[in-house]
């Protein structure tokens, strides 16, 4: 196993930052998934009645929770990647040029 060079470490840190930014953007997009009716499935009752409407409301609520958990996971992973990138940059800074 070879020790990575300073430039390799800095490249790794940059790649982690890019991935973190991408995950953050995806997490923000997940918020838009449930815009409108899906964000408020209870409003379906105003124009849709019956068992199918009830299933829709239940499934929309379940999906909302799952999407929220996925969003939180993406943001947590992005934060970890940023911390790892900072550690890698610190390690690279301690290496001789």
pLDDT digits 0-9 by tens, 4-21: 999 999 999 999 999 999
Q: How many beta carbons lie within 10 A of that of residue 54, not counting itself?
A: 14
- Asked if residue 41 belongs to a domain, the reply is yes
Domain that holds residue 55: 6-94
What are residue 16's phi and psi, to 5 degrees? -65, -40
* 52 has a pLDDT exceeding 60: yes
Q: How many beta carbons lie within 10 A of that of residue 41, not counting itself?
A: 20
Please state the domain count of the chain. Answer: 1
- Asked if residue 1 belongs to a domain, the reply is no
Q: How confident is the model at residue 84 (pLDDT cuts 50, 70, 90)?
A: very high
Write the CATH number for 13.
1.10.287.1060
Per-residue model confidence (pLDDT) at position 37: 57
Residues 6+ apart with CB under 8 A from 21: 78
């Amino acid at each position: 196993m070879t020790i990575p060079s300073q430039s390799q470490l800095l490249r790794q840190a940059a790649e982690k930052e890019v991935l973190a930014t991408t995950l953050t953007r995806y997490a923000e997009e997940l918020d838009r998934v449930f815009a409108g009716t899906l964000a408020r499935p209870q409003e379906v009752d105003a124009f849709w009645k019956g068992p199918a409407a009830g299933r829709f409301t239940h499934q929309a609520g379940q999906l909302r929770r799952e999407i929220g958990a996925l969003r939180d996971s993406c943001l947590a992973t992005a934060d970890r990647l940023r911390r790892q990138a900072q550690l890698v940059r610190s390690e690279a800074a301690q290496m001789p040029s």
